[in-house]
Structure 1
Amino acid sequence: MEIQEQYEVELKKADVDHHTPTAGAMTGHILANLWLHQQKINQARLFAKGCASLFLAQYTGEWLNTERQYFDRINQLLVINGEAVPTTTAQFTQYTMLKENGAQKYAPGKDQLFDLIKDFDTQLLFLQKAIALGKKEGLMKLVHTLVDLDTWMRTQILAGQNFLGNDLMTGRYQEDDDDDQW
């Protein structure tokens, strides 16, 4: 099979998996979210002003390193399990559920930090779904890694909310009883 044909088979499988959904497909969204979140963290690190810039200076290096490590580890786990992983900018852009805005770099630092906190929160939705699917599919190494990432993100949300003087749940997604769309 030619390389283009192999890639087209991969794309078809990914499309089917996203409509099923599978742990691998849901984890593809996690990877795309991590990819974009790293870009947003870097933007805030470079441009935030005010007191939040001090918080970001302290935390963003760890955030970038940790997210990159999880990104690499999760990719490896998917590949050894025969799952498709997003590898192109177009795929990352298609699969991410985070929103970016180049003008955000001019927002007050506290707003940039809060946006990153809300991004962590958005990522938790995908982590929880991928964890549940991974358990059903018996992908326990993936599940353990995703649980660790979930815990790390929740810790970052708490630190950021505390710095901003917010209640833990301020601005975060709260499930309604009608939200069972998965």
Structure 2
Amino acid sequence: MTNQVNNKYEKEIQRADYEHHHPTAGAMIGHIVANLTIHSLKIKQTALFAPDNTQLFLNQFAKDWYCTEQNFIWELSQSLRDENDLVPTTQKDMQEYTGLVEDASIKYQSGSDQLFDLVKDFDSQLLYVTKGITLAQKEQHFGESKQLEQLYIWVKAQIAQGQLFLGHDIKEGLYIEIEDGDDE
């Protein structure tokens, strides 16, 4: 029995490695689940440690952010299973697949710096979400595509809330794709 389990797990590892080097909707959603997992931990840390008036903002939004991200993790994981895609489920998976950076020392920064870090992470997640939408549509994984579109809409709204609270323009300090001009 153990040999059979080990063989199945080895095939899963090989498949995951292949799919992360030849992106599929499932692999991209695995990255999204990992990002949401790490981001929700960062939300909790910031909500507990951010000083000054940022604490008032977080008292209003952090719990909803955390719970909403946990719901997306659950729903996207179920969709991965339903499409026979691989589902990241371990801390090792989350650390390996996330595109976000954890830093425990950030809790000693100003409240606005901590909040802006969360906003930038929301923005970083959009890169994965838009790629995931494209791949899910291409592979006709319409349920995954719809969930990712809902996540995209929600993340954009959270970026706007955070940026407006910080007194920033909505795009200030966020990722801007630069066109290379070679398309002529």
TM bin, normalised by shorter chain, reads over 0.9
Which sits farther off after the overlay, 3-12 or 37-46?
3-12
Q: TM-score, normalised by structure 2?
A: 0.95
- Cα distance, 1:11 vs structure 2: 1.0
Match of 1:34 in 2: 36
Superposed CA offset, 1:39-95 (max 9, x none): 100000100001111101110110011000000000000001110011111111010
Mark the runs of 5 or more structure 2 residues left unpaired by the alignment. Answer: none
Amino acid aligned to 1:19: H
Equivalent residue for 2:50, pick from 48, 51, 56: 48
Matches within 5 A, 1:1-182: 2-178=4-180
Q: Which of the two has higher C-alpha Rg?
A: 2
Runs of at least 4 residues off by over 4 Å: none
Amino acid aligned to 2:136: G
- 1:97 match: secondary structure: coil
Calculate percent identity across the aligned residue pairs: 44
Amino acid aligned to 2:26: G
Amino acid aligned to 2:107: K
- 1:82 match: secondary structure: coil
Once residues 6 and 78 of structure 1 are traced to their aligned partners in structure 2, the CA distance between those partners, rounded to angstroms, is 18
Once residues 31 and 19 of structure 1 are traced to their aligned partners in structure 2, the CA distance between those partners, rounded to angstroms, is 18
Structural RMSD (CA): 0.8
Q: TM-score, normalised by structure 1?
A: 0.96
Mark the runs of 5 or more structure 1 residues left unpaired by the alignment. Answer: none
